[in-house]
Structure 1
Amino acid sequence: MSEKLVHSGDEAIDPPPAPVGFFDPVLKSTRRNVFIQWTRTVSILCVFVLGVLSIFWGSQFAVEKNYTALTVWVVDFDGQTPYDSSNTLIGPVVKNVTNQILSSSSLHIGYEIRSPEQFNNDPWSVRQAIYDEHAYAAVIINPNATTLLRSAISNNNQSYDPTGAIETVIISARDEATYYNYILPDLTILQASIIAAFGPLWARELVSGNTDLSSVPPQAINPGIGFTNIDLRPFAPAVTAPAVSIGLIYLIIIAFFNFPFLIPIHAQFMNSKDHPPLKVPHWLLWRIVSNIVAYFFLSFFYSLVSLAFQIPFSNEPASDVISAESANAYGQGSFVVFWMLNWVGMAALGFPCENMAMILGMPWSSFFLIFWVITNVATGFYAIDLAPVFYRWGYAWPLHRIVEALRTILFGTHSRIGLDFAVLFIWIVVSLAFYPVATFIMRWKMRRGI
């Protein structure tokens, strides 16, 4: 059989070479180049994994060291108010237990004993301060707590409620993970310690007063005091969790993949043989506007998922100092604000991705996606107060501002939504200013086949 494949005329084409083994001498040069490129690529990947994942792990590295950043105020209105303040018992016990915890070597959150005068002797002002996020929680010894307890004994007040003596005030929708993992367990220990310290002192007072205990309210004897736990903005319902946490990762991913899906479509304006190419400024303007419109619709359908699974979007706002579940900040208009935030947030997350995709190209732009996800998650889903000082840049990262604004919209937490939107718009403006540069780099690399 002839070794040539003969076509029309006298033209002949050599058949493809037969496959050879991996160690065939003819592949020596190719093997060397493959080994070098494989080693270089894997080394880059290893260094990248070590560096970028260290950012994520590092966000939790100093949690125990920074426990005291979780400030909890202890405010005694029992003995330092215009009310009856003679011979108080409950307030001093709470403060003594708090001081014992502060002086101990055990791990504890940042308790601070505050004077009622700092709040104009008004317990409601303490609640307002917690809502305004000046501290994470407060332990409030209510006015006349000791007087009411003694009155229950002396006047046989069967309606006495021990839980009216002390309040603990939190706002778990501010950061449910921090409250459930760190603050609430510590507050439970504090409460148990207060009850344990108060019991013997109260029993001694009752015995020394020769009080006839046969007809007094039993709850006034034991436990005598208790706690009313007030969550100004509970984190509920559970279905809201994806909207303010893991679900936002998909917001980043959707924004990132907008580029590879649409760039072949945009390229038709420049590469077609059927018409002259579009002017570059017009092409850039088309790409920017079409991306913004794409984000508009993508963010709408992303937002519809939350609406479909019945996350509340039509509750009325509530008072700052009253506990309210799912108190939507904007009432009936909350879904629209939610959608607009996701739209602006997607643009703030997406345009940097597109810039880096044009500069780095595939597959290296995946590096930026991983970096972008990790840095945003590390500073958006975890309390920056508990992270090392290095992570303070996270306050300017897009996802941190999105999460903060979402909590305001969904739960009615303390609002910084103007600042949140402003930071997101800054990301968009800076990205768009860099957009022509990134496009030039992409076209330069394409011309040179890089």
Structure 2
Amino acid sequence: MSTLSRLRRAFRSPEKVNNEQPNENTINGQKKLHSVENGNEKPHSESHPQPVGFWHPDLRQVRNRAFAKWITTTAFLMAFIIAVLSIYWGVMFDVEQRLDHLSVYVVDFDGVAPYDTTPFVGPTITKLVQQTLSSGMPTLGWDIRSAAEFNNDPLQVRQAVYDFHTWAAIIINPNATALLYSAVANGNASYDPLGACQLVFQDARDDTNWYDFMLPIISPFMTQAQSMVGKEWARMVMQNASDPATLTNIQAVPQAINPAIGFSEFNLRPFFPYTGIPAVSIGLIYLIIISFFSFSFYLPIHMQYLKPENHPPLKFPQLILSRWTATIFAYVFLSLAYSFISLAFQINFSDTNPITSTTQVTEIEYGNPISYGHGTFLVYWMLNFFGMIALGLACENMAMIVGMPWMGLFLIFWVITNVSTAFYDIEIAPSFYRWGYAWPLHSIVEGSRSILFGLHSRIGLDFGILVAWGAVNTAFFPVCCYFQRWKQQKDVHEYWPMD
């Protein structure tokens, strides 16, 4: 085509230009016979169907199938949501009726030798406990214990709190009444009401239990106890108020009249630092999630051995062994990375607290009171490692059995059941949740608290449960691998077939 012709075409309308082009169905001005007539080619509309509207008659069967599957899927998901999420909601259902499972010792040492003064502080407080129990209102498991059970030694009561025999203890000191009499009789200005009683607890054991359920009940109880003792003591003192010497002494020691007594609080193992909250609670959810998603990342790597592309396929039993070994080694490094996060945010893993006694309060200035000295981080890492094996191999096996998208539902179930029994105290949960003691995350949380906060250790039991989970899942691992291969060979549909 000449340059002049190109210029003319440039200024013509598109319709005129198109009319000048030869018809695609003509050759040299003659119509081209369509290949359909010869049976060599399908019509364009048949090989590439044109899109139609949603209500087109040809889509009726597809619409019916899709609608039926949508109804079935939605109904199933609704049932799943109700069933599984009810496990999480139910753990705290009617919890106020089970608060008595949280025991609080009340031990009256008042009047114990060598103090032979007739006691009234201890009996007044124990009387208040009896009134509280007989009131019929939901309350804690107040348990009045004799001083003789602890060899008349208040430190043994503290030891009972540390050893998880009770959640807290109220101790009426041996000299509670004697010090009151002495203060008024001698005008002892150094008298401290807080020396009369003790409240012993350790919120690092379960800070949720302590601050949400126990302290809101114990705090008013102590206030009421102060009021009852104060009224009775004021009445007794006023009977002798006519004595000028007594009045002089009262003026010198007003705290001996009001408030008369108080409660010294001893938090044996405080929950500190607060960056430890993720390490023993929400952060552990991600340990499950990491274990779950590692399956999707590593499976394509292992499947290369079965694709005969420029190499023979690997024997399937050896593939199983290779895959299991690689998964365990992956958990070693993934759990190490997870453990490094707590170290990076300055949770103490190396400095031993100056207070090592189990009956004394640790000093938070030195950070959390670790349990294993310089080996604490190693123990913490190993706990997370075996925890990842327990949590992760279960995910691996279920992924091979149920496939997608059902694996997502298992992840929800796995997270809900573990969180419900690990982040909330099973003691105050309905009896249905007793299986939670055997669930992996419960042992990880308990072990982590013991390692990081120097609590009473059940680390052997915790590791034992995690190892048992790993052993059982390892035993099922080959079975699940063969089942997955069988599904692939039989082309088993794990979800709605696209028919």
Give the TM-score, by structure 2 length.
Answer: 0.87
For residue 84 of structure 1, the aligned residue among 101, 115, 127 is 115
Which residue in the other structure is 1:94 paired with? 125
Q: Please say which of residues 204-213 and 295-304 is displaced more in the overlay.
A: 204-213
Which residue in the other structure is 1:192 paired with? 223
Aligned 8 A contact 1:85 1:144 in 2:
no
Aligned 8 A contact 2:162 2:455 in 1:
yes
TM-fit CA distance, 1:83: 2.6
Aligned 8 A contact 1:67 1:386 in 2:
yes
Q: Deviations over 1:6-37 (max 9, x none)?
A: 8xxx9646441110111111111211211122
SS at 1:371's partner residue?
helix
For residue 283 of structure 2, the aligned residue among 222, 231, 247 is 247
Distance 2:423 2:374 in 1: 27
Aligned 8 A contact 1:359 1:438 in 2:
yes
Distance 1:106 1:192 in 2: 18
Q: Give the greater-gyration-radius structure (CA).
A: 2
For residue 268 of structure 2, the aligned residue among 217, 232, 238 is 232
Partner AA of 1:185 in structure 2: P
Aligned 8 A contact 2:278 2:284 in 1:
yes
TM-fit CA distance, 1:272: 3.2
TM-fit CA distance, 1:82: 2.5
For residue 280 of structure 1, the aligned residue among 303, 316, 326 is 316
For residue 294 of structure 2, the aligned residue among 258, 262, 266 is 258
Identify the structure with bigger relative contact order (alpha carbons < 8 Å, sequence gap 6+): 1
Q: Please say which of residues 278-287 and 348-357 is displaced more in the overlay.
A: 278-287
Distance 1:151 1:5 in 2: 121
Aligned 8 A contact 1:62 1:386 in 2:
no
Q: Does 1:54 align with 2:86?
A: yes
For residue 267 of structure 1, the aligned residue among 291, 298, 303 is 303
SS at 2:215's partner residue?
helix
Q: Deviations over 1:396-433 (max 9, x none)?
A: 00000000000011001110000000000000000000
Aligned 8 A contact 1:152 1:216 in 2:
no
Which residue in the other structure is 1:335 paired with? 377
Q: Output aligned runs, 1:378-417, within 5 Å.
A: 378-417=420-459
Aligned 8 A contact 2:320 2:478 in 1:
yes
Aligned 8 A contact 2:369 2:452 in 1:
yes
Which residue in the other structure is 2:496 paired with? none
Distance 1:300 1:5 in 2: 69
Distance 1:108 1:65 in 2: 8
Aligned 8 A contact 1:77 1:142 in 2:
yes
TM-fit CA distance, 1:315: 2.9
Distance 1:387 1:226 in 2: 33
Which residue in the other structure is 1:216 paired with? 252
Distance 1:28 1:271 in 2: 41
Which residue in the other structure is 2:234 paired with? 203
Partner AA of 2:84 in structure 1: V
Distance 1:314 1:194 in 2: 42
Distance 1:188 1:309 in 2: 33
Partner AA of 2:216 in structure 1: P
Q: Output aligned runs, 1:66-77, within 5 Å.
A: 66-77=98-109
Q: Does 1:18 align with 2:50?
A: yes
Q: Please say which of residues 317-326 and 176-185 is displaced more in the overlay.
A: 317-326
Partner AA of 2:349 in structure 1: F
Q: Output aligned runs, 1:339-354, within 5 Å.
A: 339-354=381-396
TM-fit CA distance, 1:166: 0.3
SS at 1:174's partner residue?
coil
Q: Deviations over 1:251-308 (max 9, x none)?
A: 0000000101110111001123222211112111111111111111111111111111
SS at 2:96's partner residue?
coil
SS at 2:92's partner residue?
coil
Residues 1:381 and 1:254: Cα distance change in structure 2 (over 3 Å): same
Which residue in the other structure is 1:314 paired with? 350
Distance 1:200 1:65 in 2: 32
TM-fit CA distance, 1:5: 10
Distance 1:167 1:11 in 2: 98
Which residue in the other structure is 2:465 paired with? 423
Aligned 8 A contact 1:67 1:108 in 2:
yes
SS at 2:252's partner residue?
coil
Which residue in the other structure is 2:200 paired with? 169
Aligned 8 A contact 2:100 2:138 in 1:
no
Partner AA of 2:392 in structure 1: G
Q: Deviations over 1:191-220 (max 9, x none)?
A: 011011111111111111232245432211
Partner AA of 1:248 in structure 2: L
TM-fit CA distance, 1:85: 3.5
Partner AA of 2:422 in structure 1: G
Which residue in the other structure is 1:183 paired with? 214
Distance 1:354 1:12 in 2: 49
Distance 1:159 1:20 in 2: 94
In structure 2, stretches of 5+ residues that fail to align are 1-23, 26-31, 493-499
Aligned 8 A contact 1:4 1:12 in 2:
no
Distance 1:63 1:255 in 2: 32
TM-fit CA distance, 1:333: 1.6
SS at 1:173's partner residue?
coil
Cα RMSD for the two superposed structures: 1.7
SS at 1:228's partner residue?
strand
SS at 1:310's partner residue?
coil
TM-fit CA distance, 1:152: 1.4
Distance 1:274 1:432 in 2: 32
For residue 158 of structure 1, the aligned residue among 179, 185, 189 is 189
> Which of structure 1's runs of 4+ aligned residues deviate more than 6 A?
3-6
Count of aligned pairs between the two proteins: 446
For residue 116 of structure 1, the aligned residue among 119, 144, 147 is 147
TM-fit CA distance, 1:62: 3.1
